Amino acid sequence: MKKRWLALLLSALLLFSLVSCGQKGEVEIPDGMQLAAGGTDLGYYFFVPEEWTVSNLGNVSAAYVSPLTPASVSLSATELADGESAADYFEKSFASFPEGFGLTKVEEGTACTLGNAEDAVSYVYTYTYQEKSFRTLQILAKFEGRAYLYTYTAPDTKADGAEKTPYETYAEKARSVVSAIKFIEKEDKTPEEKHYETDADGYLLVSDGVVTGFDFYLAPAFTPTLTTGIIGAVAEDGASVTMSEATRTGVSVADYFKERCEELSAFVTELTVLRENEEITFANAKRARAYEYTYRLDGEVYHVYQVLSVASLKGFVFTYTEKDADYPSHLDEVTKMTEKIHIR
């Protein structure tokens, strides 16, 4: 529960660092909105205001107003234990919230809807992050046996001369996002059922290059979890790899990494950078920088290898994460996967 909650909160706070493309597909887009993410792999279509910036992180589909206005919305699948109610879910989540954030519940347990999901409950709370006050609306919804969490977060303090807080200013936009969400049947096919193309080494071509902007071959030890705008996969031992198209706004790659470490430090301990800003050869990218670091979360030490690259004026991010003790176990496969990547 704690890891799930922290991951979602971390995603909300890091939205302004990474911008990823969403899958367009063949779906009717509401007026004034754009498709941030969607398809049968996700089980939903997530529409956001057309003037907002899409910023999908891992399995969290999201968008924000602008780098200068940290108001954001996000949607992701979540998990409920057998018999766990919405109240149980939120109470456990609140109990694991970082103490220094000063969480205060404002509204709780309000029945509502989330798009076409009628079984939904909302909570509103405030917290302080980096000496700034934020207000968050979260809606937990169930659809065909699956659970999803919607989050709207924005600053809760009026700027000098302003009549409204950013939270109040963008609340109507956030409500339009809630209304536009469309849940659909989720496709839970195995790699064999999806008939992925296989190369001579048995690696699976799990990406649609037209959508992702690159061809990605996945090692047999990994099972794909996302194959739309973002590629995500996990191994039986919990190791994961992800890759997505991305652009960084306003700062250099090195500065982005430093900011990410600062953000991550609010949720983990013993963050140690082992390698940073190392120039490497990555796929057919013109420029690429490698980063490697470890951190401790819930008593477990994790080891991360990340590559930020640029090709054809586009940015791409590849990440491999594994428990520190098992980190070497997939390095040969990670090397092969990165060698097989072709950026279009």
- CATH (residue range 2-183): 3.40.1000.10
Asked whether the predicted pLDDT for residue 161 surpasses 50, the reply is: yes
How many other C-beta atoms lie within 10 A of the C-beta of residue 187?
13
Residues 6+ apart with CB under 8 A from 24: 35, 211
pTM: 0.63
**Second-level CATH architecture of 191-343:** 3-Layer(aba) Sandwich (3.40)
Confidence of residue 142 (pLDDT cuts 50, 70, 90): very high
Query: Lowest-confidence range among 7-21, 41-55, 257-271, 320-334?
Result: 7-21
| φ and ψ of 12, to 5 deg | -65, -40
Among 160, 25, 151, smallest CA distance to 90 is for 151
Q: Which pLDDT score, from 0 to 100, does residue 14 have?
A: 44
- Cα 320 to its chain centre, rounded Å, is 15
What is the C-alpha to C-alpha distance for residues 138 and 124, in angstroms, rounded to an integer? Answer: 6
Q: What average pLDDT does the chain have? A: 81
Each residue's pLDDT tens digit, 68-96: 787 899 998 888 888 888 999 998 888 87
Query: What pLDDT, on the 0 to 100 scale, is given for residue 266?
Result: 62
**What pLDDT does residue 232 have?**
77
Matching CATH topology for 2-183 and 191-343?
yes
Q: Give 97-124 pLDDT, tens digit per residue.
A: 777 788 899 998 999 999 999 999 999 9
As a whole number, mean pLDDT of residues 218-229 equals 76
Domains in the chain: boundaries: 2-183, 191-343
pLDDT tens-digit profile of 298-321?
Answer: 678 999 999 888 776 677 888 899
Distance, in Å, from the CA atom of 219 to the CA atom of 74, rounded to the nearest integer, reads 30
